[in-house]
């Protein structure tokens, strides 16, 4: 699949304000600064579709983008939504806004009918973090399908590059019977782009509108 066009649709403060649920949707989620917005730009080949910042907590609200892969089908053009969600676990935000984030995101994730898969972003430089493991456990409890997308692998040396995945597997298998699909990416180098887009393309085919 290639991305023909990518367009920002809207920011929603509440799940009810989201655009019509008429096409497959993928939500990008993960701790603040993990690289969600960067990955969205990398996948869509756009420099500044999603706003990137060195200040954690930049992304607020539920941001919908519509992506068109240019393939014509009998039903019309085939397109899908990509959603940039605010990062979680940023220590400097107040407890009130943290609770608000959690409520909004959890409502969105559990209510959105067309949500095909959650893209759970994890910074490959850090050992497994409690907040990430807890969040994946929460998704499991709610039967939300997700894949693990490791970010910033360009920042790893050879040893860490070979070592981070086995470490995560050990942690995950304490909680799960098997590993979800795993993607290893670098938004800086474009690594993993084809693999993630292929996954989305294959999953799009399962959408029943």
187 binds ligand GTP (CB under 6 A): yes
Cα separation, 88 vs 91, in Å, equals: 9
- For the bound state, the minimum distance from the C-beta of residue 36 to Mg ion, rounded and expressed in Å, comes to 5
Q: List, in sequence order, the alpha helices (H) in 116-192.
A: 130-141, 158-172
**Rounded Cα distance, 130 and 170, in Å:** 14
For ligand GTP (CB under 6 A), the number of binding residues is 22
Choose the one of Mg ion, ligand GTP, none that binds residue 186, judging by a C-beta under 5 to 8 angstroms depending on kind: ligand GTP
Of 1, 9, 52, 133, which one interacts with ligand GTP (CB under 6 A)? 52
Cα Rg of the chain, angstroms: 16
Q: What burial class does residue 8 get, using C-beta atoms within 10 Å of its C-beta: 0-12 exposed, 13-18 middle, 19+ buried?
A: middle
Angle, CA 69 vertex, CA 197 and CA 87 arms, to 5°:
50
d(C-alpha 59, C-alpha 194), whole Å: 25
Helix, strand, coil abundance in the chain, percent, nearest 5 = 35, 25, 40
> Please, which residue, 36 or 64, has the CB nearer to Mg ion?
36
Least CB distance from residue 149 to ligand GTP, whole Å?
A: 11
Asked if residue 37 binds Mg ion (CB under 5 A), the reply is: yes
Using CA atoms, how far apart are residues 105 and 136, in angstroms rounded to an integer? Answer: 14
Q: Read off the tokens for 168.
A: 């995560």
Minimum Å gap between C-beta 204 and ligand GTP is 23
State the nearest-atom distance from the C-beta of 62 to ligand GTP, in Å: 12
User: Does residue 57 interact with ligand GTP by CB under 6 A?
Assistant: yes
Range 48-87, binding Mg ion (CB under 5 A): 59
Residues 8-37 that bind ligand GTP (CB under 6 A): 32-37
124 binds ligand GTP (CB under 6 A): no
Out of Mg ion, ligand GTP, none, which partner does residue 38 contact, by CB within 5 to 8 A per kind? ligand GTP
Binding site for ligand GTP (CB under 6 A): 32-38, 52-54, 56-59, 87, 151-152, 154-155, 186-188
């Amino acid at each position: 699949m290639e991305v023909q066009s990518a367009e920002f649709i809207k920011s929603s403060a509440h799940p009810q304000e989201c655009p019509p649920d008429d096409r497959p949707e993928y939500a990008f989620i993960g701790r603040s600064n993990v690289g969600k917005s960067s990955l969205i730009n990398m996948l869509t080949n756009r420099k500044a579709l999603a706003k990137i910042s060195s200040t954690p907590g930049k992304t607020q609200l539920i941001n919908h983008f519509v992506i068109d892969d240019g393939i014509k089908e009998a039903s019309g053009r085939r397109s899908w939504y990509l959603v940039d969600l605010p990062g979680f676990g940023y220590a400097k935000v107040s407890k009130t806004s943290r609770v608000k984030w959690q409520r909004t995101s959890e409502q969105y994730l559990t209510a959105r009918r067309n949500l095909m898969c959650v893209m759970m972003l994890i910074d490959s430089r850090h050992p497994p973090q409690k907040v990430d493991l807890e969040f994946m456990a929460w998704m499991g409890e709610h039967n939300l399908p997700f894949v693990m997308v490791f970010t910033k692998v360009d920042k790893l040396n050879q040893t860490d590059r070979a070592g981070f995945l086995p470490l995560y597997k050990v942690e995950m298998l304490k909680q799960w019977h098997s590993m979800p699909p795993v993607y290893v990416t670098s938004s800086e180098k474009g690594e993993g782009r084809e693999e993630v887009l292929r996954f989305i393309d294959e999953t799009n085919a399962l959408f029943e509108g």
